[in-house]
A and B are shown apart, each in its own frame.
Chain A
Amino acid sequence: MNGWSLFIDTFFRPDLIVRYLPPILEAVVLTVEIAVLIVATGLIGGLALACARSFEFRPLNLLIAVFADVFRTVPPLVLLVLVYFGLPNVGVTLSSFAVLWLVLSVVLTAFAEEILWAGILSVRRGQWEAARSTGLSFAQTLSYVVLPQAIRLAIPPLTNRSIVITKNVALGSVIGVPEILNVATTAESFVGNSTPLMLGALCYAMLFIPVVLAGRWLESRFAWRRF
């Protein structure tokens, strides 16, 4: 067999593509669903914590800061394995899907909180005082004056972080969530051929290339000013 047909036979065998494309596409749908769920939970969680932090209640703020530091520092795979294999021993059994959702949402919450909090801090003190002096309550000032400015600033880093977290859905394959990588590796070891894995990798690439390109566009809009 010459090199080219060996390459095709190893990575793009037509019969295997036909057989495994449907289940892998199903996994693509599941992957997107989990990703959307995680991003929604994480962003809402981060926003809630950042707002809670702006009340300047010291013990709570300390708690939030520690939470954010811990979950920004420990690798998500470590948390995933810890929760998935540790909880059943104390009588709590969660599905692998629930564990993946929980862990990645908490990690994104930690990052989003820190990003939004930096945004809130960047809004000048005078804005708060001016808003309050017009008769707005604290909550109104926060939601109508401060947050709109803070969120604008936070959008590029929040987008980046959400992309990173979405790619971490692939970690779910380690604990048996049937996302793209899991389905592809299972099929690969079943047929003893790399075609399913190549399909899985290409599906991931196809899913994220538009996201990466959108990120480039976003970055160029907020680019450094040249002089």
Chain B
Amino acid sequence: MNAIVAQFFNLEIMARTYPILVHGLGMTLLLCFVVVPLGLSGGLVVAFAMQSPWRMLRAFIATLVDFFRAIPPLALLIFIHSGLPFAGIRLDPFASVCLAFFLNTSSYYGEVYRAGIESVGRGQWDAARSTGLSAAQAGLYVVLPQAIRNVLPDLISNTIEVVKLTSLASVVALPELLYSSDMARAVTYNASPLVLAALTYLVLLWPFVRLLSRLEHRVGH
């Protein structure tokens, strides 16, 4: 028992390594603030492109979306980070992560928005257009607000997943929370920094997980 406490909940080591973790947390938050808006706006473009009257465009976007939902994000990230340099395209870790996340999360957010847009009745479009709004205005001011309200739980759940996913950036040596705490583990021969990192994720995301549970139970009935 003592061995477990000393190995996983060593307060002395946590106190010693926490400045490194704070640094890592900063990078994780920065990553979230770049990647989440990128995905949210990319997804919006995807969703509206899926409503376009051109069949070819819809088929093209649907293929892209299915492809990027089918590839595990880690495989995509490693391909961008260590596969593309052989073709002469060299991105630094931060840019690689942003590109991989953009392709992956835009597809997921796009599907969520699409479900929302399709949940809004056709009559709303027609009514909005008949008052003289352009297609873009009808989509932006009439349909989108209702769509977002309908799929709010899915948007939140997807965002939680994206934040959790930023831990993949450690694989390409971007010094975010997991990477820095794993460094601290390697230096101290002790797993407590990783436990501290897990707790940090927990504190960061737990309120949103609770909020989500509430929304889901309410919407369900």
Chain A interface residues toward B at CB < 8 A: 6-7, 10-11, 69-70, 72-79, 81-82, 85-86, 89-91, 114, 118, 121-122, 164, 167-171, 173-174, 180-181, 185, 188-189, 192-194, 197-198, 200-201, 204-205, 207-209, 211-213, 216, 219, 223-224, 226-227
Q: Is the interface of A mostly helix, strand, loop or mixed?
A: helix
B131 to chain A, nearest CB (A): 20
A75 with B178: CB separation less than 8 A: yes
B168 touches which of A77, A188, A189 (Cβ 8 Å): A77
Give which listed residue, A70, A167, A173, A192, contacts B202 with CB less than 8 A: A70
CB distance from B128 to the nearest CB of A (A): 16
Q: Are A173 and B206 touching (Cβ within 8 A)?
A: no
Task: Report the separation of the CA atoms of residues A173 and B169 in the bound assembly, to the nearest whole angstrom.
Answer: 14
B54 contacts A by Cβ under 8 Å: no
In chain B, residues 174-218, which have Cβ atoms closer than 8 Å to a Cβ of chain A? 178, 182, 185, 189-191, 194-195, 197-198, 201-202, 205-206, 209-210, 213, 216-217
Residues A201 and B71 in contact, CB atoms below 8 Å apart: yes
Number of chain B residues whose Cβ lies closer than 8 Å to a Cβ of chain A? 59
**CB < 8 Å neighbour of B76 from A78, A201, A211:** A201
Among B150, B202, B220, point to the contact of A74 (Cβ < 8 A).
B202
| Pairwise interchain contact A90-B167, C-beta atoms closer than 8 A | no
Given contacts A78-B178, A118-B216, A205-B67, contact A198 B79 (CB under 8 A): yes
Assembled-state Cα–Cα distance A208/B119 (Å): 27
A113–B32 CA distance with the chains assembled, in angstroms: 28
Q: In the complex, A153 Cα to B125 Cα: how many Å?
A: 31
Residues from 66 to 83 in B contacting A, C-beta threshold 8 Å: 66-67, 69-76, 78-79, 82-83
In the complex, the answer to whether B72 meets A181 with C-beta atoms within 8 Å is yes
- Give the shortest distance, in Å, between A73 (CB) and chain B (any CB): 5
Chain A residue numbers with a CB within 8 Å of B202 are: 70, 73-74
